[in-house]
Amino acid sequence: MNMLKEIVVGGWSLVSGMLVTIRRIYRPVVTTQYPRKRLEMSPSYRGHIELKRFEETATHNCVACGTCMRFCPTNVIKVQGEKENAHGAKRATLYFIDFSHCSLCGLCVANCPTQTLKFSNEYELAHLCRWEGVVDLLKRLE
């Protein structure tokens, strides 16, 4: 009697499992055919960092203070700047990152005094050569 019950219960569980999978066949797929179609990335996705563009100045607000450079645990960032006139603030003239070392920790973004850094939505980050991981952020902003 016990065995019969086991067969019936087990058989029903098999049938209900098969019902689950047959329903899946008619559901819409959740994958995207990648090179043909691309996804909109979510705003909180972390690609490599990039410079923010502010509406009032229509450009970035990097003062080349070097905070990001010093905070970076793996020395990804290289930033240089120069003053436009003797009393003005510095402006970045060179901002490079080497993404192949970046761990996306976000210390640079969190500590930027002018909040001009953010994470990009870049997700195609596979490269054939290590130098292709070097990104010129100023050029990227233009």
Q: Which residues bind another protein (CB under 8 A)?
A: 3, 7, 14, 17-18, 20-22, 24-25, 27-31, 33
The residue among 135, 18, 10, 30 whose CA lies nearest residue 79 is: 135
Amino acid at 14: L
Q: How far is the CB of 66 from another protein (least distance, A)?
A: 47
* Pick 28 or 88: Cβ nearer another protein: 28
Q: How far is the CB of 14 from another protein (least distance, A)?
A: 7
Q: What share of the chain is helix, strand, coil (3-state, %, to 5)?
A: 35, 20, 50
- DSSP result, 46-70: --SEEE--BTTTTB-------HHHH
Query: Under a CB-based contact definition with an 8 Å cutoff, are residues 101 and 109 in contact?
Result: no
First to last CA, the chain: 78
* Pick 17 or 73: Cβ nearer another protein: 17
* Pick 13 or 115: Cβ nearer another protein: 13
Q: How far is the CB of 25 from another protein (least distance, A)?
A: 5
Q: How far is the CB of 47 from another protein (least distance, A)?
A: 24
* Pick 3 or 129: Cβ nearer another protein: 3
